[in-house]
A and B are shown apart, each in its own frame.
Chain A
Amino acid sequence: MPLIRFQLNPQTKRRLARFRAIRRGYVSFLILAALVILSVVGECLVNSRALLVKYHGHYYFPTYGAIHPGTDFGEDYSYETNYRHLKTRFAAEARGDWVLLPPVPYNAFENDFRPGVYPPTAPSTSERHFLGTDTTGRDILARLFYGFRIALIFSAFYIGFVYLIGIAVGCAMGWFGGSVDLLGQRLVEIWSNIPFLFVVMIVASLVRPDLFLLVAITGLFSWTGMTYYMRTATYKQKARDYVAAAEALGASTPRIIFRHILPNTLSTLVTFIPFTLAGAITSLTALDFLGFGLPPPTPSWGELLQQGTANLNAPWIVLSVFIAMVFVLTLVTFVGEAIREAFDPKKFTTYQ
C-alpha cells in the first residue's frame, strides 16, 4: 500500500472547495503563488547577465552557468562581461550582433555609479532603475526581488524546522502524558522565556551568520508555541475510539501517531502555516534591520528598510520596501484567514 495516496478524502475536498470559494483568499493565494514561481526563475527577469547574445553568428545564453569573460565578446577585459555596455557597443557597431537583456538589467549587488551623480538616485525608466537606487547605487527592485526570494527560502526552512520540533515535542507530551507532559511543559515554559532577540544578537555579533545558522537560531526559540496546539490536539485524538481500536488491533505507537493521530491534527497545523510564514518574513526583516541578519551585501528587506529610514530624503527607498512588505504580508494574511475559515470545524460539525 503506497504511503501517500493521491486521492483526497471527501472532507479535504470539501475544505479545498470552500477555500476556493473565498475569493479574497484564493486570489491572494494565486498572486502569491505567481510571485513564488517568478522568484524561482528570477535570473531571467532581474539580472545583469543577458538572456541571449548573438555575436559573430553564434548564440550565447549567459543567464545560467559559468561567466563569460569580456574577451568572449571582443572586449578587452577578462572579468565578467558588462552586457549593458555590450548592448550599446553592438548597437553602435551595427554589425548584426545584438544583446537581449532581462526587463531589469541589474543584479542585486552591482554598484551602478555614474560620474557626477551620487546615489541614491530616484526611480527612472530610462536607466531601467524602476524603483531607483540605494545609497551605494544598487538597483532597489533587484534587491527587493532577491530579498523576497531569500526571505521565502528562509521561511521554508524555518517552517520546516519549527514544525518538526514543535510537532515532535507536542505529540510526545500529548501522547505519553503524565510526567512527560508535566516536565515537558515546564521545560517549554522555561525555554520560551529566554529572550530570543538577545540570543540572536549575541550569536550574530560573534560569528558571521549564514542562512542556515539564522534558521537554526530563530527556529530554536520559536517552536514552543506549536507544542501547545499539538499537545491538546494529540490529547483530543488519543481519547477517540479509533485510537483505542487501533491499539486493540495491536498497532505500534509510531504507527498510531503517524498514521492515525497526525493526519487528524493536520487541519490545525495547516491553518498556522501562513501566519508562521508572515512571522518568519518579519523576523528576518527585523534582524536585518537591526544589523544582526544575513551578512552584507546579501539583499534583504530589513537592510533596505534601515537605509530608507536613515535617508528619508530619498523616499523611494523606504516606500518601495514598505509597500512591498505590506503587500506580501497582506496577501499572506488573506490566505491565512481563508485557510482558517475553510478548515473551521464548525462548518462541518455542530456543537450542542
Chain B
Amino acid sequence: MTASLRPLSRLFIAGLALLAFTLAGCSKKTAEATRDVTPEVEAYYKAHPDFFTFAKLADLPANLSWQDGHDVPEFASPEAKRGGTLHGAIDDFPRTLRFIGPDANGSFRSYILDDNALTLIQRQPNTGQYYPALAKSWALSADGRTMYFRLNPEARYSDGVPVTANDYLFAFFFFRATYINEPWYNNYYTTNFTNITHYDDYTIGVTWKEAKPDIYDRLGQLYPVPQHFYKELGPDFAQRYQWRLEPTTGPYTVLPEDIHKGSSIDLTHVKNWWAADKPFFRHRYNFDRISLQVIRDPDKAFEAFKRGDLDVFGLTLPRFWYDKLPDTDPLVRDGYVHKAVFYNEVPRPTYGLYINAARPLLDNRDIRAGINYATNWQLVIDQYFRGDYARMQTTADGYALVPFPGIKARPFSVDEALASFAKAGFTKRGPDGILVDDKGHRLSFTVTSGYAALKDVLSILKQEALKAGLEFNIEQLDNTTAWKKVQEKQHDIAFSAFGVSVEMYPRYWETFDSANANKPQTNNITNLADPEIDALIKRYDRATTMDEIRDLATQLEIKIREQAVFVPGFEIPFYRAGFWRWIKWPKDFNVRLSQTAGEQGLEWIDEDAKKETLDARAAGKTFPPSVEVYDQWKRKD
C-alpha cells in the first residue's frame, strides 16, 4: 500500500528469496526445462469451485445496465505526432524485469507495468469517469459487489496472443501462488475477492467481498496474466523469469537486445499495438522509443539534461528550480529549454510527525496538543521550501471527493503550546529553557527519521520548539532501520509519511484503529486507541455511499485532530519539469490525477522543432523563453 512500506517488505522478500534459494539448492535440480503448470492450474480451479465458476453466457444476469464510456471525453492532444526517441535517465538499473517477486517493486516497474499495461477499465484522469481499456463494456450487479466485463476481442499481448477470460482466472491462480514469493499479493487476492466467473472467452464476472463506492477501481483495475507465458511457473519462478519480460497489453515493451545491464535499457513501441488508434489511447504514447540510461547521481543527470542528452528533467526540488536552472539561465532565457509548473490534485503523501501515544508523557493529550502548537512547519515551508510547498491540514489531504474544508492543522504558537503544556503540569523552565514538571520530568522527546534528505527540516523544527520549552532530539537513521523501529512502535515521535496511491477516499483502519495499536508491524504508528474512533472507522468501512463516507471521514478527522497524535507537515501540490523546446505537451500540459509529467504518455517530440532548435543554437539564434504555470487544478483556499 505504501511507499514507506516498501523497504521493509523488500527485506522480508529478500529473506524469503534466500530461504527459497537455499531450499532449491538442497533439493538439487530435477530436469524441469519442460515444466508445464497447466494441470496444476486446472486442479486448482477444480479444488476451489466456489471461487472459480464456469458458466454460460445465458447465466449472465438479465437487466444489467452496460456502460461503455462513450460519453467520456478524451484527454490526449490530437496535435500529437507519433515517432522519435525520448532520452531519459533512471537512477539505478532494474534488478529484474519481473512485475512481481523479489526486487520487482522498484521504480523501474512503472515503465513496464504501472504506466504501461492496460487494465479492464481505466479512470479518465481529469473527470474521474471510466473509459474502456481491455474491456469493451462493463456492468455492476444490483448488490454492488460484482462487476461484469465484456473483453475487447481485438486486445492482444505484445507477442500477438489474444487476451481472453482465461488470463483473468489464471491471474488469481498466479497471485495466490506461493511460487511468486509475495505474501502481500497472496493475502490480497485471497481475502478480498470472493468469485470470478468465466461466461465465455470474452466475458467475465468478478466479485468483491462487499459493496464499496470505489468498486470500479477494485475490480476494474485487474491485470490479465498471460498463462501461455507463465507455463513454466514453479518454485524457481524468481530466477527463471528474472530477465524475461511478460508480454504486455500496453504500448511499450523491452526487446532483449536493448537490455545493457548496468548502463541502459530501452523501451520500444509495440509493433502494430492493438490499441494505437482506439479512443482514449490515440495520440498517446507517441515515442517510438524511450531510451533510458543509468545516471545514479541526480546532479549528474541534471548536467546531462543541460547538455541536451536528456529531453525532460524533473525540477520539483527548489534547489533545481531556483538555483540550478533559474529563469535567468541562458538555456531558459534563450528559449531552448522550457520550464513548467503543474498543479495536480492527488492524495498527498502524509508527511508529518507521528506521536506515539503509548509513550510516557506522550499519552497525555495536552502534551500532544502542545507539541502540535510547538512545531513550526510554516517556517520550514516559507523559508526552507521557499513558500512553494503547502501546509498539510489533515491526515488525508488531496482527495478531490473527500475534502475537509473546515479542518485546519494547529498553527505554530508559543503561547498556545505553553498553555497546553501547563495543563499537563509543565509550567517551569529549566536552566536550559526546557520545561520541567514537579516530578522532575523534562519535556524532551526523540524524533526518529529515515529521511536523510530532510534532516534540515528537523533541525529547524528543533530550534523553533525550543521557544516553547520543548526539546526534540533528532535520531537520523537509515531508512529501513527507522521504519522498522517505527513499525515496532519503539519511537517517541516519528517523522514519516505514508505514500498513497490514487484512491477515491482515504483509509483509516490501518493507521488509526485500535486493532492495530500497540502491536508491532502495523501502520497504526501513533498507537491511537480510542473507542469512539474505532466505532466511526467501523461505520466508515461499511459505508456504501460517498455522502456517508464524506460525513464519517469528516467526523474521523475532527476526532483525530482532537487527539492530536499527528502533526500534519507539508505537501507538494505540484510537480515541475524542464524540457527541451522540441518536447511538446497538450495545451493544458497534463491531467489532474497525474503524479509525474510522463505517466499518461501525453507528450511528443517535434522533430522539425528539434532540428530548428539545434540549428538556431549553433547559429546563436534565440527563441522567446517559456516558463508556464498551469494552476487549473490548484486548491483554492
Asked whether B467 lies within 8 Å of A295 as measured between CB atoms, the reply is: no
A308, B347: Cα distance in complex, Å: 35
In the complex, which residue of chain A has the Cβ closest to the Cβ of B479? A205
A184, B460: Cα distance in complex, Å: 50
Minimum CB–CB distance for A340 against chain B, Å: 40
Asked whether A208 lies within 8 Å of B383 as measured between CB atoms, the reply is: no
Asked whether B459 lies within 8 Å of A79 as measured between CB atoms, the reply is: no
B8 interface contact, C-beta 8 A: no
B477 interface contact, C-beta 8 A: yes
Residues in B neighbouring A297, C-beta threshold 8 A: 459, 462-463, 474
B619 interface contact, C-beta 8 A: no
Residues in B neighbouring A291, C-beta threshold 8 A: 452, 476
Asked whether B477 lies within 8 Å of A66 as measured between CB atoms, the reply is: no
In the complex, which residue of chain A has the Cβ closest to the Cβ of B387? A118
* Contacting residue for B467 out of A79, A205, A310, CB 8 A: A79
In the complex, which residue of chain A has the Cβ closest to the Cβ of B418? A78
Asked whether A77 lies within 8 Å of B414 as measured between CB atoms, the reply is: yes
Given A208-B475, A311-B323, A313-B323, verify A136-B460 contact (CB < 8 Å): yes
Asked whether A80 lies within 8 Å of B433 as measured between CB atoms, the reply is: yes
Given A69-B433, A296-B455, A313-B323, verify A205-B474 contact (CB < 8 Å): no
Asked whether A296 lies within 8 Å of B458 as measured between CB atoms, the reply is: yes
Minimum CB–CB distance for B355 against chain A, Å: 19
Asked whether B433 lies within 8 Å of A136 as measured between CB atoms, the reply is: no
Residues in B neighbouring A274, C-beta threshold 8 A: none
Residues in B neighbouring A313, C-beta threshold 8 A: 323-324
Residues in A neighbouring B478, C-beta threshold 8 A: 205-206
Given A77-B414, A291-B452, verify A67-B433 contact (CB < 8 Å): yes
Asked whether B460 lies within 8 Å of A208 as measured between CB atoms, the reply is: no
A302, B477: Cα distance in complex, Å: 17
A55 interface contact, C-beta 8 A: no
Asked whether B384 lies within 8 Å of A136 as measured between CB atoms, the reply is: yes
Given A66-B432, A208-B477, verify A311-B463 contact (CB < 8 Å): no
Which residues 424-460 in B have Cβ within 8 Å of A in the complex?
A: 429-433, 446, 452, 455-456, 458-460
A205, B418: Cα distance in complex, Å: 35
Q: How many A-B residue pairs have CB under 8 A?
A: 83
* Stretch of A109-117, A150-158, A252-260, A344-352 with 4 or more beta carbons under 8 angstroms from chain B: A109-117
A314, B462: Cα distance in complex, Å: 25
B299 interface contact, C-beta 8 A: yes
Which residues 258-316 in A have Cβ within 8 Å of B in the complex?
A: 291, 295-297, 310-311, 313-314
A65, B476: Cα distance in complex, Å: 29
Given A66-B432, A67-B431, verify A137-B383 contact (CB < 8 Å): yes
Asked whether B319 lies within 8 Å of A79 as measured between CB atoms, the reply is: no
* Contacting residue for B459 out of A69, A109, A113, A206, CB 8 A: A109
Residues in A neighbouring B466, C-beta threshold 8 A: 79-80
B224 interface contact, C-beta 8 A: no
Residues in A neighbouring B474, C-beta threshold 8 A: 295-297
Which residues 189-217 in A have Cβ within 8 Å of B in the complex?
A: 205-208
Minimum CB–CB distance for A111 against chain B, Å: 5
* Contacting residue for A67 out of B323, B429, B460, B481, CB 8 A: B429
What is the total number of residues of chain B having a CB less than 8 Å from a CB of chain A?
A: 37
B469 interface contact, C-beta 8 A: yes
Asked whether B414 lies within 8 Å of A79 as measured between CB atoms, the reply is: yes
A314, B431: Cα distance in complex, Å: 37
Residues in A neighbouring B500, C-beta threshold 8 A: none
Given A77-B467, A295-B474, verify A205-B433 contact (CB < 8 Å): no
Residues in B neighbouring A295, C-beta threshold 8 A: 473-476
Asked whether A66 lies within 8 Å of B431 as measured between CB atoms, the reply is: yes
A195, B477: Cα distance in complex, Å: 21
A297, B477: Cα distance in complex, Å: 14
Minimum CB–CB distance for B173 against chain A, Å: 40
Asked whether B379 lies within 8 Å of A113 as measured between CB atoms, the reply is: yes
A42 interface contact, C-beta 8 A: no
Asked whether B429 lies within 8 Å of A205 as measured between CB atoms, the reply is: no
Given A67-B429, A113-B379, verify A296-B476 contact (CB < 8 Å): yes
Asked whether B299 lies within 8 Å of A310 as measured between CB atoms, the reply is: yes
Asked whether B477 lies within 8 Å of A206 as measured between CB atoms, the reply is: yes
In the complex, which residue of chain B has the Cβ closest to the Cβ of A117? B383
A320 interface contact, C-beta 8 A: no
Minimum CB–CB distance for A1 against chain B, Å: 46
A314, B481: Cα distance in complex, Å: 33
Residues in B neighbouring A110, C-beta threshold 8 A: 463
A232 interface contact, C-beta 8 A: no
Residues in B neighbouring A67, C-beta threshold 8 A: 429, 431-433
Minimum CB–CB distance for A83 against chain B, Å: 14
Asked whether B481 lies within 8 Å of A205 as measured between CB atoms, the reply is: yes
Chain B window 466-495, contacts with chain A (Cβ cutoff 8 Å), 1 for yes, 0 for no: 111100011111100100000000000000
Residues in B neighbouring A66, C-beta threshold 8 A: 430-432
In the complex, which residue of chain B has the Cβ closest to the Cβ of A114? B383
Residues in A neighbouring B429, C-beta threshold 8 A: 67, 69, 78-79
A135 interface contact, C-beta 8 A: yes
A135, B454: Cα distance in complex, Å: 12
In the complex, which residue of chain A has the Cβ closest to the Cβ of B386? A118
A119 interface contact, C-beta 8 A: yes
Asked whether A65 lies within 8 Å of B431 as measured between CB atoms, the reply is: yes
Minimum CB–CB distance for B22 against chain A, Å: 23
Given A118-B386, A208-B477, A295-B476, verify A136-B431 contact (CB < 8 Å): no
Minimum CB–CB distance for B479 against chain A, Å: 9
A310, B320: Cα distance in complex, Å: 11
In the complex, which residue of chain B has the Cβ closest to the Cβ of A312? B299
In the complex, which residue of chain B has the Cβ closest to the Cβ of A118? B386
Minimum CB–CB distance for A163 against chain B, Å: 31
A80, B386: Cα distance in complex, Å: 27
* Contacting residue for A296 out of B322, B382, B459, B467, CB 8 A: B459
Which residues 374-429 in B have Cβ within 8 Å of A in the complex?
A: 379, 382-384, 386, 414, 418, 429
Asked whether B469 lies within 8 Å of A79 as measured between CB atoms, the reply is: yes
Residues in A neighbouring B462, C-beta threshold 8 A: 109, 297
Residues in B neighbouring A119, C-beta threshold 8 A: 383
Residues in A neighbouring B382, C-beta threshold 8 A: 113
Max chain B Cβ within 10 angstroms of own Cβ: one of A69, A77, A111, A208: A111
In the complex, which residue of chain B has the Cβ closest to the Cβ of A309? B299
Asked whether B468 lies within 8 Å of A205 as measured between CB atoms, the reply is: no
In the complex, which residue of chain A has the Cβ closest to the Cβ of B455? A296
Given A77-B414, A291-B476, A295-B475, verify A311-B319 contact (CB < 8 Å): yes
Asked whether A109 lies within 8 Å of B467 as measured between CB atoms, the reply is: no
A135, B384: Cα distance in complex, Å: 8
Minimum CB–CB distance for A81 against chain B, Å: 10
Residues in B neighbouring A208, C-beta threshold 8 A: 446, 473, 475-477
In the complex, which residue of chain A has the Cβ closest to the Cβ of B385? A118
A291, B478: Cα distance in complex, Å: 10
Given A111-B383, A297-B459, verify A79-B476 contact (CB < 8 Å): no
In the complex, which residue of chain B has the Cβ closest to the Cβ of A113? B383
A111, B433: Cα distance in complex, Å: 18
Residues in B neighbouring A111, C-beta threshold 8 A: 379, 383, 459-460, 463
Minimum CB–CB distance for A306 against chain B, Å: 10
In the complex, which residue of chain B has the Cβ closest to the Cβ of A292? B478
A110, B455: Cα distance in complex, Å: 15
In the complex, which residue of chain B has the Cβ closest to the Cβ of A109? B463
Residues in B neighbouring A205, C-beta threshold 8 A: 477-478, 481
Residues in A neighbouring B383, C-beta threshold 8 A: 111, 113, 118-119, 137
Q: Which residues of A contact B (CB under 8 A)?
A: 65-67, 69, 77-80, 109-111, 113, 118-119, 135-137, 205-208, 291, 295-297, 310-311, 313-314
**New contact pairs (8) apart from A111-B460, A205-B477, CB-CB < 8 Å:** A65-B431, A79-B467, A80-B433, A113-B383, A205-B478, A208-B446, A208-B476, A295-B473
5 A–B contacts from the bound complex (CB under 8 Å):
A66-B431, A69-B429, A78-B469, A79-B467, A297-B463
Q: Which residues of B contact A (CB under 8 A)?
A: 299, 319, 322-324, 379, 382-384, 386, 414, 418, 429-433, 446, 452, 455-456, 458-460, 462-463, 466-469, 473-478, 481
A-B pairs, 4 with minimum CB distance: A205-B478, A66-B431, A297-B459, A79-B467
